[in-house]
Amino acid sequence: MSLTALVREVTEETGRNFAVAPQQCDLALYANSFGIPVFAQHADNVKQGSTTGRVTPEAIKAIGCAGTLINHSEYRISAADVEALVSRCKELGLITIVCTKDAEESRAYAKFNPDFIAVEPPELIGGDISVTTANPQIVSDSVKLVKEVAPEVKVLCGAGVKNGRDVAKAIELGADGVLLASGVVKAKDRKAVLLDLVSGM
């Protein structure tokens, strides 16, 4: 069973909200097939036309995606491009999740009014220790600073998040949810991990 199908199964069983962000070449395959929100992992701030190798927000919208990640730590872009992409996505009705490395960057990007800010210290991504354990203050500070700038922007946290305890701690610190990949993708029993994550909500 594909991970997307498994996420849908857990969504139906628990009533909790999940979204998936498959690799770019799989977006069209999953965007309209499973009844759960599908996000692109990245969008490029380029106009439609001569953009070989790039993915425009318009293309992401056209294939049925709900939104896109912007500025993930593995594909960081300039602040100007972040601002422009958030604006373009809003016009298209796409949900934006802007990734940040720390509380100060979270505050800086909150002024662009994305739907979500996802704070993920790069040094903890893919690791065995959750940001909620290694640096809980970066989560609580991000929530505080984002809400000061744009109260309507929701805050997610990620990096090392792997279980229900991590999720519970994230919520306790003020986050609205979590953003994660390796904790589920690398798990031997993915469904068990997804159910454990939900237990922390």
Decide if 72 is catalytic: yes
Structure tokens that stand for 47 in this block: 């106009």
Type of residue numbered 151: P
- Residue 48 CA to residue 51 CA, distance in Å, equals 7
Query: Which residue out of 42, 72, 83, 105 is catalytically annotated?
Result: 72
Q: Would residue 58 show up in a list of annotated catalytic residues for this protein?
A: no
- Residue 117's contacts (CB-CB under 8 Å, 6 or more residues apart) are 97, 98, 100, 106, 109, 110, 142, 146, 153, 154, 155, 156
Q: CB of 196 within 8 A of CB of 164?
A: yes
CA distance 71 to 80: 11
Residues belonging to the active site: 72, 120
